[in-house]
Amino acid sequence: MDIVVKGRNVEVPDHYRVHVAEKLAKIERYDHKLIRVDVELFHERNPRQSDTCQRVEITCVSRGPVIRAEACTNDFYSALDAAIAKLDTRLRRAADRRRVHRGRHAPISVAAATAGLPVAGLDDVAAPAGGTATATAVEERPEEHDDQPWHIARAKVHPADPMTVDDALFQMELVGHDFYLFHDKESGRPSVVYRRHAYDYGIISLDT
């Protein structure tokens, strides 16, 4: 398993890289097919955000689904600990799901929670906290528009492999986002599942 540590607006010292490697050494017990773990450090320069100015994002790439976690605190060490705690929970959830698929348990489908939900309009969607990410996602550089007041900081393209609503919800939980874009296997439509409140979800689909 390769561990890649890099920083944005911050220089990563060697002793922190060693600390990260030691902290992540145990995660392979959940998935022995892990290929790479990307750890990114971000420093927020706004003094008004001093309590959450250091952010750590961890992305695990394996032969299975991508698993991601992030945390923000006032120092990189506690942010790393918080992110690893979230990552540990999501890795354990993925490992449990693999055991379910091997017939060790009788699962209750998460899709049952969304069965019968109406297709929501755009006015019903809360603003998402982050973007989607998959193991094969390709990040593209956005076009610059100096004459526009808005700025697209990141753009990603990923394969539209058909999946069920249950799988889309599972993928959304693993990457820790409030929404997930996918190709609905049953309807054949481009769709988005999103979190409304707690375990209450919604679905938006395009009429093709």
Residue 207 has pLDDT above 90, yes or no: no
pLDDT at position 13 is 92
* pLDDT mean across residues, the chain: 75
Distance CA 172, CA 149 (A): 31
- Residues with Cβ within 8 Å of 186's Cβ and at least 6 positions away in sequence, in order, are 164, 165
Facing residues of 43 across strands?
Answer: 54
What is the reported pLDDT for 122?
36
Task: Report the candidate in 68, 72, 71 with the shortest Cα–Cα distance to residue 87.
Answer: 68
**What is the residue whose two structure tokens read 């398993």?**
1
Q: For residue 101, name the pLDDT band (cuts at 50, 70, 90).
A: low
Tell me which residue of 77, 173, 190 sits closest to 132, measured CA to CA: 173
What is the structure's pLDDT at 155?
A: 78
Sorting pLDDT into bands at 50, 70 and 90, what band is 12?
very high
Which of the pair, 81 or 130, is modelled with greater confidence? 81
Say which DSSP state 119 is in: B
Domains of the chain: 2-101 (3.30.160.100), 110-205 (3.30.505.50)
